[in-house]
Structure 1
Amino acid sequence: MATKAEYKHFATPDEVRSFNHGRVEIVNILGGVVGRFILEPGWRWSEDVKPIAGTEWCMAPHFQYLVSGRVHIKMEDGSEFELEPGDVFALPAGHDAWVVGNEPAVAVDWHGAVEYGKTKGS
């Protein structure tokens, strides 16, 4: 449990990891990591992040809140669904995702941002 208050702002993240059609901004706070994903129209995990991750599916589990935009999810088991602003969701490892439409998707992630978008071995 925290013994003092700590606050940060995404305007000055501790780290930014950029990839084709997007980026994740990382804030380290009280020993935890919060990420803000900004995904542009045309972003698709299997095309834009898969080459960085080096895995067939996204293996980062996520616990996120979708602030804006729409995202389609396809799970490794073949199930699919679409997320819209205001959705809170937990995704296990083994999924693909892509932005739907012409609006950027912005999501806040409390779990999966720790290693997301890092080059293999970094």
Structure 2
Amino acid sequence: MTSATQSMDSPHETRPFRAHGHMDVVTLGDFTLGRGVFEPGWRWSEDVKPIAGTDSCQVRHTGFCVSGQMTIRFDDGEEVTVGPGDVMVAEPGHDAWVVGDEPCVLLDTGVAAYAKPA
């Protein structure tokens, strides 16, 4: 068995959002983990939509909220807010935004193609 490690403090890649934050990405073999730092004022439809080129986020996110809060609104109108300690799954077809004045930090396994130019 082969093992590999990489510190999130030295990510393989950092993907800046249009404004209000970035996604640090580490890929080990076929496993990709992102640490998203979503600053106050961040909103997918303003900060990532121009990068993704889709009407709503079409990535399936699976992750854990480390700090801050984020509301996710799905294309069908359902909304959920995640906060510290929450494990979440967000299926494709959503917008999202930071709630409050604290950055939202999420660890996310669904970021292999997230915030990469289309």
Q: With the length of structure 1 as denominator, give the TM-score of the two structures.
A: 0.93
Count residues with an aligned counterpart. 117
Q: How far, CA to CA, are the matches of 1:81 and 1:27 in structure 2?
A: 27
Structural RMSD (CA): 0.8
Q: In the alignment, does 2:50 pair up with 1:51?
A: yes
What SS is found at the alignment partner of 1:60?
coil
Q: How far, CA to CA, are the matches of 2:24 and 2:33 in structure 1?
A: 8
Structure 2 residue aligned with 1:88: 87
Q: Which runs of 4+ in 1 moved over 6 A?
A: none
Q: With the length of structure 2 as denominator, give the TM-score of the two structures.
A: 0.96
Deviation at 1:44, TM superposition (A): 0.2
Deviation at 1:6, TM superposition (A): 1.3
Question: Which aligned pairs between 1:1-122 and structure 2 lie closer than 5 A?
Answer: 3-19=1-17, 20-110=19-109, 112-120=110-118
Q: Which runs of 5+ in 2 are unaligned?
A: none
What SS is found at the alignment partner of 1:98?
strand
Q: Which runs of 5+ in 1 are unaligned?
A: none
AA paired with 2:41? G
Q: How far, CA to CA, are the matches of 2:21 and 2:44 in structure 1?
A: 10
